[in-house]
Structure 1
Amino acid sequence: MTAQTEAAPGRLPIAEPAEARRAAVRLVRQDGRAVTAMLILNGLAAAAGLGGPWLLGRIIDDVRGGAGAGHVDRLALGILCFALAQLFLGRFARYAAHRFGERTLARIRERFVDRSLALPASVVERAGTGDLMTRGTADVATVGTTLRDAGPEVSVALVQVLLILAAMLAVNPFLGICGVLCLSGIWFATRWYLRRAHAGYLAEGAANSALAEILTSTAAGARTVEALSLQERRIAAAAEAVERCRVTRTHTLNLRTVLFPVVEFSYIAPVAGILLLGGALRGSGAVTTGAVVACALYFWKLAEPLDKVLLWLDQLQRSNASFARVEGIGQVDAPVVTGGGEPVDDRIDVVGVRYAYQGERDVLHGVDLTVHPGERLAVVGPSGAGKSTLGRLLAGAEVPRTGRVTVGQVPVTELDPAQLRRHVVLVSQEHHVFLGTVRDNLLIAAPTATDQELHAVLAAVDVDWMDELPDGLDTELGAGGHRLDAQQAQQLALARVVLADPHTLILDEATSLLDPTTARHTERSLEAVLKGRTVIAIAHRLHTAHDADRVAVMDGGRVAELGSHSELLAAGGGYAALWKSWHGA
């Protein structure tokens, strides 16, 4: 990775300018016919716009030469025809450009969604949802505005600028060169602006992502913030993020306040220069009055397209930075899947595994563990012992720093996600309710399941609230619909897992949001449903360990004890102490 894409630890990368340009070229090639039609129509519209000033110059010179009214009327009619042609050609050019923009924006959105869904869960967790959300909303919307509005406007304007400059040079090279030299102020101001704008808008986007992350995490953890009296600390953090946003936005605003005044003044200089030089040349007979008027009018017409280009320049820089952020999603270093074949069975082996979160010390230290098919293993231990980390390694959500984790003798890193999920599914403490109906939320796991199967699965995880829903399985959930409480959302997630029908199920405090009685009943219901499958339960409630075939006791990132409940109690070690403490002994 290049320096720019090597984001700070935990942050999502940003595409280098060259990489973003290549991505943009690929998007253009995907709709090459529309781009060609847009350029041709823009060129014809710009060429039609050149006819008016040229004919006006002809009228002036012909009238001075004694031309009659009929000749002048014919030339005036020609001006009208050119104006109408420019109007209609410009309309169709913009129509073609807008269609291209909308189709390309749809491709960008679809690719962003595909890439986001393919991101490793560990990457999203370390980066935070705020950055990903900002890229998928504000940044994609900025790129869309450019494709839909700025792109067509700028493409038309650039063609007009080039043709107008060529027409001026054709009418009189001296006057044309004079006008171009008088525009040098715009060139220097734009160059100064472009050297600073890209970095400025990248900093602004990063500040917006940081603010979104703080706001979303504070809102999601509102109860925790209130319970621990963290309001002032979170308000201070939000205020600091708002201040960073203000500073970055003020910086980009200052860049614009330098660029635009210079541009406005530079529009006057070419016309004044042409009139002064034209007056001197006309006195010597080098140019005609019509040529001077035509060149002055060309420069007057040049101001409009050039103004559009420069006014949209800010939007283009903002979009350039946003597109680099959107494309950066595709540069996340995901584990390389080499295709190790199909596992021979469901046995899970952990051999010499060490793991460290990015930039931190190891949290697992040489863990060795074997989980046999059909076994129920409980993983217990104090907070911070490495239980959840081990569960994520077993599910392939994390990759060990050293050692290996295999399923059926195949390393989990060599299984593609769909293949791995047929064998292992991790159910964590966090559960998501998707927008849609109850049926939609369940069919995610089993698209072909019948209503009868859905009701059976809900009953299996002890769901007794279905009759309370207004439309049963067709009840809309989420914003604007029925809202499930934390316990109901957790039961819905467990029902999805049962429908997915994995061979191995890892429950990481999966019933933590349920009250103890309901949790116990749900776990027993799940035990009946998942009979014959491998279940790895990570829990603080030691009744789970009591019912397990074996218990792995984690302590300090290692498996300190391993055996059945009765064996570990008899050993009188750490597990026996935990059991006595849990029972208040």
Structure 2
Amino acid sequence: MKLPIASADQAKAYARRLVLRHPRALAATVALHALATVSGLAVPWLFAQLVQDPGRRIDLLAAGIAAFTVVQALLTRAAFAASAALGERVLADLREEFVERSLRLPLATVERAGTGDLLARSTRDVDLLESAVREAVPHVLVSGVTVVLTAGALALTAPVLLLPTLAVAPLLWLSTRWYLRRALNAYLAEDERWAELIEAFSETVTGARTVAALGREEQRRVLTDARIGASWAAEKYSLGLRNRWNPTLELSYVLPVVGTLLLGGLLYLHGHASLAQVTAATLYVQQLGYPLNVLLIQLDELQLGGASLARLLGVAEVPADRSPGGADPSGPELSARDVRYAYAERDVLHGVDLDLVPGERLAVVGPSGAGKSTLGRLLAGIDGPRTGAVTLGAVPLTELPLDELRRRISLVTQEHHVFRATLRENLALVREAPDAELLAALEAVGWTGPDLDTVVGSGGAALTPAEAQRLALARLVLADPHTLILDEATSLIDPRTARGLERSLAAVLHGRTVVAIAHRLHTAHDADRVAVVEDGRITELGTHDELVSRGGSYAALWATWNRLSGRR
């Protein structure tokens, strides 16, 4: 599954809205660019007067040329500074909105899409868009204003001498249209290949130990080489488009100058134009070439930025996995009714019914692949069922706002992330609390690791898998939800310590509803009820003693567990 990409029209509309949020800054920027351009247009006119009448005072004309040049330089500097300030405001708005959209993505969608695509969007695409906003947008603004005003000055000086420039315009228009229609798709393909390359690198690095243990280094190298080759081919194609377009651009800049000189010379010889007009017109046409070149080249950069913007906006196109109704549950009762859930169009849960008694501890056991973790994700509201409903106080979890859902129900798995920050900051991700509460939460999970001021995570003090798991459980104590889903949350801790930890947690979390998905049956022995999941169905439900006495699947699991435990 790939994350969606916004259309070109959506990207353009969003860019317009983003820029128009700052109308005063935009107006000031355009005005400064216009004034800088007008100052620059005075120089060719003054030079033409000198050519027309060499008897004029050269010192005054030279002083005028110097003055207008200095004024243009100062105004240009101010214009680019205003453009940069506007660009930073726009970028700040865009970055904040992208982060907000990314954090709202359904977790299931992120997991199915993989990390490479979202990582590429949040790094390479953001960088490319920043480059476009900081460099391309100001240059397009100044070049666009310069082209319009210079063409206007040329028309006022000698309208007939505008003809060579107009004659070349169709060539410029058609070649640019040909290129831009292909460039956007080429850049989108480039970004997609780059995302695949990032994903391959990311998986190889994060799974380096597994790759080495299985001896699959060569396989990963071949895969990475293939992704690099695909990325190179995509970039080669877009570069080929530019190489075919650029010669036409260069020709389009030279032909108007030559045409203006030839036509102007003929008009001058026949008395239809003055030397000053021909000189000024030629200088204006020559002066027109540079901003026009910059404008078209930066339009290409805007295409690249537009492709990145479309990918960033595409994050918002992911359909929500819950309605924004904001219903308020009437109670803490968590229930599942005729719940079915599918992976790749194949059901892994088949008509599951389950009612949780508020305050009870339910253990979910069963063979691997039976659907225990999937059931836990549905009870935590991470995923929505294909059919049926999971409700809290008669309100479907998919109708709860995400903040409200996370406040009421928490899921802890055996996979934990430790942020590069102090231990205090890692705990405070749940909520701000005084050190006394943080220490109490750590004590509840039997913490023996670093103190609150120690920097942990990547590059900091290394935490063992068991310590990372205890940190996650301490966050859970601080979150204090009324319902907890523990998916093998103590699996990385040795069995004897894990049992003591679970009993300590049970005391701390007394009165909360706990669903413990476990592979160690002492968890089931200590629970109020046990649910046995087999082939996506709850086949047994009752207390530990009831299920043992029935002699069914749970009794067989318990006998096997005791026999294996006796051998250890």
TM-score (norm 1): 0.93
> Counterpart of 1:208?
194
2:439 aligned to 455, 458, 461, which one? 455
The reply to whether residue 57 of structure 1 matches residue 42 of structure 2 is no
How far, CA to CA, are the matches of 1:193 and 1:437 in structure 2?
52
| Aligned partner letter, 1:450 | P
- Please give the alpha-carbon distance, in whole angstroms, between the structure 2 residues aligned to 1:69 and 1:376: 100
1:392 aligns to 2:377 (yes or no): yes
| Aligned 8 A contact 1:183 1:267 in 2 | no
Please tell me whether residue 135 in structure 1 is matched to residue 121 in structure 2: yes
1:458 partner letter = L
- Residue aligned with 1:429, SS: coil
The 5-angstrom pairing of residues 476-515 of structure 1 reads: 476-515=455-494
Aligned to 1:382: 367
Q: CA deviation at 1:584?
A: 4.0
Structure 2: how far apart are the matches of 1:49 and 1:234? 58
Post-superposition offset of 1:233: 2.7
Q: In the aligned structure 2, how far is the partner of 1:323 from the partner of 1:217?
A: 26
**Which AA in structure 1 matches 2:300?**
D
Which amino acid in 1 is paired with 2:289? A
Aligned to 1:160: 146
- Deviation of residue 186 (structure 1)? 2.5
Deviation at 1:235, TM superposition (A): 2.4
- Output the CA distance in 1 between the equivalents of 2:509 and 2:213: 37
Corresponding residue number in structure 2 for 1:432: 417
Amino acid at match of 1:274: T
1:29 is the counterpart of 2:39? no
How much does 1:492 deviate? 0.7
State the secondary structure of the residue aligned to 1:76. Answer: helix
Say whether 1:328 aligns with 2:319. Answer: no
Q: Distance in 2 between matches of 1:197 and 1:433?
A: 41
Checking the alignment, whether the CA contact within 8 Å between 1:94 and 1:152 is kept in structure 2 is yes
SS of equivalent to 1:189: helix
Q: Deviations over 1:330-387 (max 9, x none)?
A: 1211134343533232211100111113x42111111111111111111111121111
Q: Where does 1:406-555 land on structure 2 (aligned, <5 Å)?
A: 406-447=391-432, 449-466=433-450, 472-555=451-534
**Ranges in structure 1 where 5+ consecutive residues have no aligned partner:** 1-9, 467-471
Aligned-residue offset at 1:464: 1.2
Q: Are the equivalent residues in 1 in contact too, given 2:484–2:513 (CA < 8 A)? A: yes
Amino acid at match of 1:425: S
User: Is the partner of 1:532 in helix, strand or coil?
Assistant: coil
Q: Take 1:272 and 1:446, find their aligned partners in 2: how far apart are those partners?
A: 71
Name the SS of the counterpart of 1:551 in structure 2.
strand
Q: Secondary structure at the match of 1:177?
A: helix
CA distance in 1, matches of 2:325, 2:269: 83
Aligned to 1:46: 37
Q: Deviations over 1:525-562 (max 9, x none)?
A: 21221122111011211221121111111111111111
Any idea what SS the aligned residue of 2:540 has?
Answer: strand
Q: Could you say what secondary structure the match of 1:473 adopts? A: coil
- Structure 2 CA distance for aligned equivalents of residues 486 and 246 of structure 1: 39
Identity score, percent: 51
Q: Determine the C-alpha separation between the residues in 2 that align with 1:354 and 1:445.
A: 32
d(CA) in 1 for partners of 2:118, 2:8: 20
CA RMSD of aligned residues (A): 1.6
CA distance, structure 1, for counterparts of residue 293 and residue 326 of structure 2? 59
Q: 1:233 to 1:521 in 2, by over 3 A?
A: farther
Q: Superposed, which structure 2 residues align to 1:94-243 within 5 Å? A: 94-243=80-229
> 1:430 and 1:46, CA in 2 relative to 1: closer, same or farther beyond 3 A?
same
1:371-426 CA-partner distances (Å, limit 9, x unpaired): 11111111111121111111111111101111111111111111111211222101
Please, which of 6, 10, 14 is the counterpart of residue 15 of structure 1? 6
Give the C-alpha shift of residue 519 in structure 1.
2.2
Amino acid at match of 2:472: A
Residue 29 of structure 1 deviates from its aligned partner by: 1.8
Give me the whole-angstrom Cα distance separating, in 2, the residues matched to 1:207 and 1:582.
Answer: 49
Q: TM-score normalised to the size of structure 2?
A: 0.96
Listed one character per residue, the Cα deviations across residues 503-533 of structure 1 (whole Å, up to 9, x for unaligned) are: 1110011112222233222222212211221
Shift in Å at residue 306 of structure 1?
A: 1.5
Residues 59-115 of structure 1: per-residue CA shift (max 9 Å, x gap)? 22223xxxx342x43233222222122111111100000001111111111111111
Q: 1:346 aligns with which of 300, 311, 332?
A: 332
Q: Which consecutive segments of 4 or more residues in structure 1 shift more than 6 A?
A: none
The code of the aligned residue for 2:510 comes to K
Aligned to 1:4: none
Would you say 1:81 and 2:67 are equivalent positions?
yes
SS in structure 1 at match of 2:452:
helix
Aligned pairs for 1:199-348 within 5 A: 199-339=185-325, 341-348=327-334
Q: Is the 8 A contact 1:442 1:495 kept in 2?
A: yes
Q: Contact 1:381–1:553 (CA<8 Å) still a contact in 2?
A: yes
Residue 183 of structure 1 and its aligned partner are, at CA, apart by: 4.3
**Which one-letter code corresponds to 1:20 in the other structure?**
A
- How far residue 36 of structure 1 moved from its aligned partner, in angstroms, is 0.6
Equivalent residue letter for 1:383: S
SS of equivalent residue, structure 1 residue 474: coil
CA contact (8 A) 2:326 2:401 kept: no
